[in-house]
Amino acid sequence: MIECMIAAPRSGGGKTVMTCALLAALRQRGMNPCAFKCGPDYIDPMFHRAVLGLESHNLDLFLASADTVRTLYARYGAGHGAAVCEGVMGFYDGLGGTTDRASAWHLADTLDLPVLLVLRPKGASLTLAATVRGLQAFRPQSHLAGILLNDCKPMLYQTLAPMLERETGLPVLGYLPPMEEASFASRHLGLYTAGEITDLQARVKALGIQAQKTLDLDRIRALCSRPERPPLPDTVPVPHRTRIAVARDEAFCFCYAETLDALRDAGAEPVFFSPLRDHALPGNCAGLYLPGGYPELHARALGENAVLREAIGRLVRAGLPTVAECGGYLYLGQALEDTAGTFWPMAGVLPGQGIRTGHLVRFGYAELTAHADSLLLRTEESLPIHAFHYWDSTQNGTACTAHKPQSGRSWDCGFATPTLFASFAHLYWAGTPRLARRFVAAAQHYEREQGACLHPQN
């Protein structure tokens, strides 16, 4: 099995493009690859999924323990001929930007992955070798195994490759030339999502064809081959699954694949619906999950779908077990400001209004501690979370306290009751399985209590 990580000295070096190119080329060669993303990013795995036609999975050593990460890697890598993990930020950049915890290097070290370092030779040549040498020496075991050049013209590659091999001792395993036809544009939360790029499959195909020409796939295969990992034990069948409605469309697209599996493992059947287009929740659902995404970009359509948002408001107020994260949290508010400054009505469950700030409000990892028992947490219980949002709320709640372990900054946030948990926090359910168990248990209780009256059409 081929196993490797694609990393870079800094953000903006082309990790996603190189990862997609390698995945496309391996797929074209019949290697049946799978993909992973280091860290909490939602968007890059969408591109992996567009290349492969199957889910990519996040591996995060702040949001989950090392043992859990190893288990997730084994679970989702099983049965594949190759596993490619895309790194995050700069190679050693971890928690708070001042430690290597949860960095790409930390993950490579935990999983013992060979690392292919992506370099973009813009305005540097020999200094690239000095950069690599520094990365090699920064930790006793760097796991750096090879170099890939991105956005590099063929003639420049012929000059740089032998120099880099001589100066660093690492093999240079190919390059991607400048490819305007295969670039991915960015905006305030990172890259545009895969679903927003209309010609994405043509771009992916072009990357795969180019990678076949200019990446040394045979050397990569030889360098990154690893023994097959032992299979995981079979899961125990669940006799009855409780249906939980999960928002999924352009406005609510930030949902980890592992979260859905955590819900399934706990006995749920996730059932998808669109708050943009549907006029009722799926029938016989006993829970509601509203993940994050871009509701601010679709505030008018969400507001104008009054039938569904009002029905959701009634059900949540009446006790339907509900979890809302970030964008889902904004949807449960009174109103949401769009990018033009217009406010549109939302579900009206929570007291605040979603407002545009024009800058990052809260960003990065934090520890969330509950002040009282609720749907997901118990008094004084803590769990790791991630936050990343440009919109804020006029009322953020006081059910929990979020604390950033590096800076020491703290703030109150969230609304929580026995049937509701809503905040800007992104939760990593696979790293804290009790969240899924408690949510599903509450949904099962609701299902039993409602019985034949369980809403079929709201």
So which residues are the catalytic ones? 326
Tokens of 309: 């948002």
β-strand pairing of 172-176 with 82-86: unpaired
- Measured CA to CA in angstroms, residue 138 lies from 45, 147, 350 at distances of 29, 17, 48
Residue pair 115/91 in contact by the 8 Å Cβ criterion: yes
Q: What would the two tokens of residue 1 be?
A: 């099995």
Neighbours of 108 (CB within 10 A): 24
d(Cα 77, Cα 412) in Å, to the nearest integer? 39
Q: What sign results for the dihedral spanned by CA atoms 103, 105, 109, 114?
A: positive
Contact 114, 80 (CB under 8 A): no
CA count, 13 A, side-chain hemisphere, 200: 20
Which of 146, 106, 125 minimizes the C-alpha distance to 22?
A: 146
Distance (Å, whole) CA 368 – CA 220: 42
The Cβ-side half-sphere exposure at 120, using a 13 Å CA radius, reads: 16
